[in-house]
Amino acid sequence: MNNQLRKTNKCVIWTRVSTAKQEKDGGSLEYQKKLCLNYAKEHKLNVVWRDSEQESPFGGTHESAKQIGKLCREMINLVKKDTSISKIICSQFDRLSRDRGDAIKLMDSLRAIGVTIVEAISGTDTSDSTAALLACFKFSTATLDNEIRADKFYNGRKHCYESGAYTGVLPLGYTRKDPKTGVKTKSLNSYCYLDDKGQKIRFAFAWKLQGYTNGEILDKLSRMGLTITKQTLNHIFNNPFYAGKIQSKMLDNGMVDGKIEKAVSYMDWLKIQKIMSDRAGWYKHKKHVEDAPLKGDILCAECGKPLTAYRQKGHWYYKCNTIGCKFNMSAVKLHAKYQNVLQGLEIPRELCALYEEMIGKVIKEGNEEKVRQTTLLKKERTEIEKKISACTARYATGEISKDIYSSAITAFETRIREIEADLEECGEILSNYQKRVNDILLMCSNTSTWWDDADYETRKRIQKLAFPNGILYDRQKCNYRTENRNGVFDVIDRISASYRHKKEAPSEEDASSCAG
């Protein structure tokens, strides 16, 4: 690798959002551009724009970060050709890519031609090996943080659903409030009520039971002021939520009685499913095997096929169904060997203090971005709620017609549902950084124990995190092969080795005493 960095004062700026809706809102892209420009000005860098007249940065639109996209490749190609450009500035590293593997490959390839990536929000760059390792670690820590957050989110939401409280995005026709205070909330105490649209949807179910066709029902709803598509109506009829039921993969696709005002009784809803049996209903989720969590995740090293599981005389076994292979082993033995593999991936306890500081910095930066995004979304939601109140008042006084009122309210309510979904995607804002840092450290330093004590879903998540493409079992060596492990552990190994090397290297004083 060529470690000779380009020594110019030219840079490019990269900004990106994930969806067209986020691009339309504009706030995030402008904020990213502002952060990057501030960094460039502070360090006296001249920006090479994608469009010099408009001062448009590279990217500047929506593009998925699951892999390096077309716009990102366009910027990279320019940087490779134009040797006067020495830096790529982005607000945060994950703006380039959220795939840890792609991001690290990109960083290494750019360093090989002397180009540095700079994270404007923290000032972290990839100018030397230590800084590059820190950048790799930030990519990896973000992955671990997302996994911890997703696990807590999953368990919290599952508990709410099991208690009958629905905290997901509401279907058309519902609003969610605390029955005692009347305040909109997402909690165990929340109750889902039918709003004005929901009351009209209640008629739709009654008409369906009376034998009306979907086309006739759509016409009748339109005359009542509710205009929806044929697909939306089918979705409503097929959704057990309107019958007061919560159905979710978190409940193994089963149903529980929800704290929901019904638009139709459950028995009548079943009658409608029978009426629509040629195109409706719900599927049965294939039941998982609690005692064989590695089913599908262990791959036979000889044929590459995933192992299945079976039970015999009260004991579980894994086996390969490939003809001529027929590998077979006790689940107890394979689980014990798997725990040993996980133990080998853990952060050494003597290095936990080092990682604690690094993880804390990454979590803090991510949380600050969430606070900013959440604040903007809540502000917009408040403004829209004010517009709804004003629109309702104008309709009540006859200033606007019913058609204009209905159209405006529909647009406002649609945007509020989108904002609610965006707020949910932002996740929780941490009031206690240290607790999250401790959670990640606990996972990284006690992975094997965590897996052994976890329920089925959590075990599967750990397995997917540790070995995203599955883990090979070599029957000849009677052990697992770990070449498919998540690259995050490669980064941890590199940082740990670098730290140990520096710690073990003799100081100048030691060297002089040895020489004497």
Give per-residue pLDDT as tens, 394-414: 988 999 998 888 888 888 888
Residue 198 shares a structural domain with residue 260: yes
Find the mean pLDDT for residues 427-439: 71
Lowest mean pLDDT among 2-6, 165-169, 325-329, 451-455: 2-6
Find the mean pLDDT for residues 410-435: 76
Residue 121 shares a structural domain with residue 36: yes
Residue 117 shares a structural domain with residue 224: no
Domain assignment present for residue 196? The answer is yes
The answer to whether residue 322 scores a pLDDT higher than 80 is yes
The answer to whether residue 212 scores a pLDDT higher than 80 is yes
Of residues 292 and 351, more confidently modeled: 292
Residue 121 shares a structural domain with residue 176: no
Going by pLDDT thresholds of 50, 70 and 90, the confidence category of residue 2 is: very low
Domain assignment present for residue 226? The answer is yes
Domain assignment present for residue 235? The answer is yes
Residue 122 shares a structural domain with residue 69: yes
pLDDT of residue 12: 94
Going by pLDDT thresholds of 50, 70 and 90, the confidence category of residue 175 is: very high
Domain assignment present for residue 513? The answer is no
Percent share of the chain, pLDDT over 90: 26
Percent share of the chain, pLDDT over 70: 84
Residue 104 shares a structural domain with residue 190: no
The answer to whether residue 425 scores a pLDDT higher than 90 is no
Find the mean pLDDT for residues 79-104: 83
pLDDT of residue 513: 39
Lowest mean pLDDT among 62-76, 323-337, 395-409, 467-481: 62-76
Q: By three-state DSSP, how is residue 288 classified?
A: coil
250-299, pLDDT tens digit by residue? 777 678 999 999 999 999 998 898 888 754 433 333 445 678 999 989 99
Q: Strand 116-119 vs strand 85-90: parallel, antiparallel, or unpaired? A: parallel
What are the residues whose beta carbons fall under 8 Å from the beta carbon of 191, sequence distance 6 or more?
Answer: 176, 177, 178, 179, 259, 260, 261
Domain assignment present for residue 174? The answer is yes
123: left (phi over 0), alpha (psi -120 to 50) or beta: left
Residue 18 shares a structural domain with residue 120: yes
Going by pLDDT thresholds of 50, 70 and 90, the confidence category of residue 180 is: confident
Measured CA to CA, the distance from residue 236 to residue 280 in angstroms comes to 11
Question: Which of 241, 275, 309 is the last residue in one of the domains?
Answer: 275
CATH of the domain at 123: 3.40.50.1390
pLDDT of residue 1: 47
The answer to whether residue 146 scores a pLDDT higher than 70 is no
The answer to whether residue 516 scores a pLDDT higher than 90 is no
Alpha-carbon distance values, 481 to 21, 233, 277 (Å) = 44, 51, 48
Distance between terminal CA atoms of the chain?
Answer: 38
Q: Do the beta carbons of residue 454 and residue 281 sit within 8 Å? A: no
Q: Taking the CB of residue 73, how many other CB atoms lie within 10 A of it? A: 11
Q: What amino acid is encoded at 473 in this protein?
A: Y
pTM summary value = 0.47
Question: Which of 99, 127, 155 is the last residue in one of the domains?
Answer: 127
CATH of the domain at 188: 3.90.1750.20
Mean pLDDT of the chain: 81
The strand ranges marked E within 10-57 are: 10-17, 46-47
Of residues 63 and 84, more confidently modeled: 84
Domain assignment present for residue 60? The answer is yes
Domain assignment present for residue 81? The answer is yes
Domain assignment present for residue 260? The answer is yes
Q: Taking the CB of residue 384, how many other CB atoms lie within 10 A of it? A: 16
Among candidate residues 484, 418, 427, the one with its CA nearest the CA of residue 145: 427
37-74, pLDDT tens digit by residue? 999 999 999 999 887 777 778 877 766 545 567 888 88
Measured CA to CA, the distance from residue 27 to residue 375 in angstroms comes to 11
Measured CA to CA, the distance from residue 491 to residue 140 in angstroms comes to 8
The domain in which residue 88 lies consists of 10-127
C-alpha radius of gyration, the chain, whole number? 28
The answer to whether residue 228 scores a pLDDT higher than 50 is yes
pLDDT of residue 115: 92
Going by pLDDT thresholds of 50, 70 and 90, the confidence category of residue 428 is: low
Of residues 236 and 313, more confidently modeled: 236
Lowest mean pLDDT among 87-96, 272-281, 462-471: 272-281
What are the residues whose beta carbons fall under 8 Å from the beta carbon of 334, sequence distance 6 or more?
Answer: 294, 298, 318, 473
Question: Which of 275, 301, 321 is the last residue in one of the domains?
Answer: 275
Find the mean pLDDT for residues 484-496: 74
Q: Count up the domains in the chain and report the number.
A: 2
